[in-house]
Each structure stands twice: as C-alpha cells, then as structure tokens.
Chain A
C-alpha cells in the first residue's frame, strides 16, 4: 500500500485559513468515511484533531474542520494562530484492519 499524498508544505498569515489535501484511492480514502487528521509539534506525539472525516474530538477548537470528496480528504484550519504551526498527517482506514497515513504537511504561520 502507498502512503496517502499530502503537499509538503502550506502556509498562511495569522487569522487566515489554510487547507491541506490528502489524496488516496478508492481502497482507502474514497472507500470509507474513516479519515482522521493528526497534529504533531516538533518532538511531540501526534494529536488527534479530526476523525470520521469531519468530527472533532472534545477539546479541539472549531477552527479545525474536515471534509472529503471522492478520493481526496481535506483539513482546513481557519483563523490561523501561532500554535497551529506544526506537521499535519492524515490517515485512512484501508479495509481488512489496515491503516495508511499521509506523507505529512508542514504548516507555517507567517
């Protein structure tokens, strides 16, 4: 299985929005509504930000939102804040008790 494809980097100024794409296939992203997104600050463990395409866990700001169309999922961070600067990874269920992660996107707050 191949990693899901994400852009290496994305950036925006404070208060702006940034959208990260996550492209897979019909065997993973397109086949299931089980896409999740993780935020990872340097030297830290990933943190779950979105699950089931668009659901935020308790405590995650509503500035984070997720969506999916076909084989591509997206994470949008609205009202960018300095603390949003981090690496972001998508993940998808790929059937038969299997998961695949994305290549990761470094978000920079300008």
Chain B
C-alpha cells in the first residue's frame, strides 16, 4: 500500500520561501508509472492543482499560477518536494502531495496534508 507523508514548517513569514517534502513509502518515485503531484486547498476553499513531476525530473505546472513554484524529486530518498518563493497570505493553505496515475488520469493516493500559514 502506497503512503505519502508531507513534512515541513507550519508557519512561514511573508516574502520568504515555503519548502515542503513528501516522503513516499510502499512504492518508488523512481518509476515511469506515475507522476508525483502537489495540490493545495485554501481554508474553506476548493482544491487547486499546483503541478507534478516525473521520475526523470520533468515538471509540469498549473499555467494559471505564477512561476513561484518549483517541484523537485530525490529518487535516492524516495521523496519529492515543493518550493514556493515570495509567499503571501494568499499562499496559506493545506498542501497535499498525491500520486497521479497517467493510465487513470486521476490522483489515486494522497498524503494527509499539511497546513502552512503565511504570517509575520
């Protein structure tokens, strides 16, 4: 059974960089079978797809988001990560990592989510 677990700081100051890591267990990120995604949910709001990464390092981002987001993969640690530069209060959200199955074109496994608050 694949499990994903987000980790990182719960509080980030405005204008700083938000950094989150997703650790995958029960499966490998070093496989061409899946994409590894980040999705966020602002308090009381809906879901927003941020982007995903392939094991090769190829990345794809939501075109409606500005280029403040970077997703990286570390196959040695079986992790992938998200960095968001120059955060504002609008980046306050629960951040989820998830696995995307290209054969089903859907997000079949999710982490529990981590709340990140942007505040001074």
Residues in A lying within 8 Å of B, measured CB to CB: 1, 3, 32, 34, 36, 38, 44-48, 51-52, 55, 57, 89, 91, 93, 96-104
Contact = CB atoms under 8 A, between A and B. Distances in A.
Contacts of B49: 91, 98-101
Q: Which bracket fits the contact residues of B? A: 20 to 34
A51 B104 CA distance: 6
B46 interface: yes
Contacts of B60: 96-98
A85 to B, nearest CB: 17
Contacts of B48: 101
Interface stretch (B13-21, B84-92, B110-118): B110-118
Contact of B112 (A45, A51, A96): A45
A45 B105 contact: no
Given A1-B64, A98-B63, A101-B47, A45 B110 contact: yes
A42 B48 CA distance: 17
Given A1-B63, A93-B105, A98-B60, A45 B96 contact: yes
Nearest to A87: B46
